[in-house]
Structure 1
Amino acid sequence: MDSKHNKVALVTGAGTGIGKAAAKSLLKAGFRVVLTGRNLERLEKAIIDIGGDQASCLAVACDVGKPSDVKKLFAALQEKFSRIDVLFNNAGIGAPAIPMEDLSYEQWMNVVNANLSGAFLCSQEAIRMMKAQSPQGGRIINNGSISAYAPRPMSAPYTATKHAISGLTKSIALDGRQFNIACGQIDIGNAATEMTEPMAAGIMQADQSIKVEPRMNVEHVGEAVLQMAQLPLESNILSMTIMATNMPFVGRG
């Protein structure tokens, strides 16, 4: 079981973008990969796109903000692969870029459920499996965001939940020590995905101006997630920032 070719990784929000890129990197490195998201057809296509098959990959439709869905996801993972070595809590959404006072409660809760509750629920189930399996332990990687430290205009739900992810990461890292469970966070700035396409046309800055922002190849993020995932459990990257070199972060605002 020490071989990486026997290790199992679960990636949430794996149908597109960062999740799909991470799943691809993990698969190519020898991990067996469970891909989850809301759209099963998209997940199945992603498996084909990354070069997976029925032996190496599993697609499970899941809304990570729903406890019953998460339990079914982990039951399917347990049945297929019997263990979990890496969880990448990647699934997340944003709310419309409108003034905070104009957001509905439903819009707020949609972001909270996807970004924060989803990471909490998946981590709960992963920790239970990691504690019970032999050899014991595993690694949880949370997708944070540069926005948690330098918010964009009109992004209160996204920024608040990503800031909370930092606290969740540190709590898991602390509480998981005695069970050989490591936890780290990757903060990503301007990966070229569907979510960041507006940046290529111009996006609002802190001074209300509209500017085009540089983006980076999303494959680089997948490689960074793999770097974290491949570390022996005696070592941990608690926090990593990967960003487009010329994006307005250092000095933003």
Structure 2
Amino acid sequence: MLKIENLTRSFGGLTAVDDLSLHLETGDIQGIIGPNGAGKTTAFNLITGIYRPDQGRILLDGQDLSGLTSDVISRRGIARTFQNIRLFGKMTVWDNIITAFHQRMGHGFWDAVFHLPLFKSREREVCKESLAFLERFGLAERRNELAENLPYGEQRRLEIARALATNPRVLLLDEPAAGMNPTEVEGLIGLIRDIHREFDLSILLIEHHMPVVLKLCNRVQVMDFGRTIAAGDPHEVTGDPVVIKAYLGDEEDGL
């Protein structure tokens, strides 16, 4: 479904992503792991149009997305979350979800201006779908609260719900377990399994919590200094001496 071919991006003299290739099949849950500064989030930013690649291609179902803007890529079927949660904090939980449905409204400019029947019909449908999303993620009772006032774990659930409201085929999760305690991490693993099944998604995630990677991913790719240094079954890859060295350094270096 998602095919990354020889993706490269440099910033000045630093090559942040160097010749990255990756195939995400329909129904996959794959992981990208690696030490801080390895280029993982830059890869996500390239896939979602925040940065333009210097070289390489990003293909979704055979269509080249390379160089397209983030809004166009979102409409094509790729959604994401961020390592640092990016909600509309001063907006309510309800408005955060409603906003995500706007690209699916299907009415024209004049329908909205004059509140024509098509606009009213779609508004009713969106409200119904939004409530269903909030109920599914356990947030319906908090729908009138400001997003910034939610506990951290619920903010993370809202961000994932908002991404899913765009009706993606591929969901990118950037360190979804960051800042969570062990109980919250277990709940997150169950949530990702559930949405993978219910929404028929392919998922690509960046994660430092190895239990998340080992329990969810059927394949992982390890990056270091922008390049792929290992790829394959997560249990095998995480035991690779090259991967261990990338995370921990050489013993003689005192790391």
Question: By the TM > 0.5 criterion, same fold?
Answer: no
| TM-score bracket for the superposition, by shorter chain length | 0.3 to 0.5
Larger-gyration structure (1/2): 2
Higher RCO, Cα 8 Å, sep 6+: 2
